[in-house]
Amino acid sequence: MKPKVGFYELTGCAGEMLHILNMEDILIDVFSKIDLVEFRIASSVKRPERVDIAFVEGSVTTEENLEALKSIREKSDVLVAIGDCAVWGGIQASTTGEDWKTLMKEVYGVEENYFRFLGEHKSLSECVKVDYELPGCPIEQDEFVRLFIELLEGIEPKIKDYPVCVECKIKEIPCLIVEKREPCLGPISVGGCKARCPYYGTPCIGCRGPVREEANVAGEVSTLVEKGWRKEDIVKRMELFAKRYKDIEKLVEVKK
């Protein structure tokens, strides 16, 4: 019997699901190994039944999101958060700490809670137990396929826990901080992207989120301040994808 797999979306741009669909060369082969229960962006088929693996993208932003996530958790053996929104709350979580009524008025011209907004954009792990997290905005296709196959074959996936700097060293990319004084977030951002941005001379903006529990945020800030950058600008850059990371939250509190 093939394992049952579901793909679910909460609040986000659906970029992870589109990225998976864009794997045309291997998608049919990969999906031939499973019984697809739900993948709304690809099919109208929706079977509300228990699954072996649930892939969930998007942040937990509304009461509807929270109810849906709890239901998915209850009916899945393994739950995987895919993409920065699911892992860290996404760009929308950069509004954490701001008054939601003010935001509602600025965007929609009213203070009513039209969308049963929770008041902040949370990651999945803040709401339910998450078994694995695959970061990225969007995710890397090869990382998804490897994780997918490993789960199907009962292999314990190894999630990357080293910074982008490691991949810069491997590819012999000159350090953008040292050589060009650029505000690169590679030292605190989790690798797996093959240092794509630094390779093209663009400083990392941290779209894969911090290296969980190990990102030396204070050290990064200190280094960039020494290079001439203002602390408030560095913190603002870090907030874009990782405002809900504990050490960056502390910096924001100090800034206030």
What pLDDT is stored for residue 48 in this prediction?
Answer: 87
**CA-CA distances (angstroms) from residue 250 to 59, 132, 161?**
22, 26, 22
What pLDDT is stored for residue 213 in this prediction?
Answer: 80
- CA–CA gap between residue 158 and residue 22 (Å, rounded): 24
What pLDDT is stored for residue 88 in this prediction?
Answer: 96
Per the CB < 8 A criterion, the answer to whether 168 and 175 are in contact is: yes
- Which tens digit of pLDDT belongs to each residue from 217-230? 889 999 999 999 99
What pLDDT is stored for residue 203 in this prediction?
Answer: 97
- Which tens digit of pLDDT belongs to each residue from 170-203? 999 999 999 999 999 999 999 999 999 999 999 9
Helix ranges, the chain (H)? 15-21, 24-31, 63-74, 84-88, 100-108, 141-152, 164-170, 176-180, 196-199, 217-226, 231-242, 246-255
What pLDDT is stored for residue 252 in this prediction?
Answer: 60
Per the CB < 8 A criterion, the answer to whether 88 and 244 are in contact is: yes
Q: Which amino acid is at 201?
A: G
**CA-CA distances (angstroms) from residue 120 to 39, 53, 75, 91?**
26, 27, 26, 12
- Beta-strand pair 60-62/35-39: unpaired
User: How far is Cα of residue 59 from the mean position of the Cα atoms in its chain?
Assistant: 9
**Is the pTM for the entire model greater than 0.95?**
no
What stretches in the chain show pLDDT beneath 50? 256
Per the CB < 8 A criterion, the answer to whether 90 and 241 are in contact is: yes
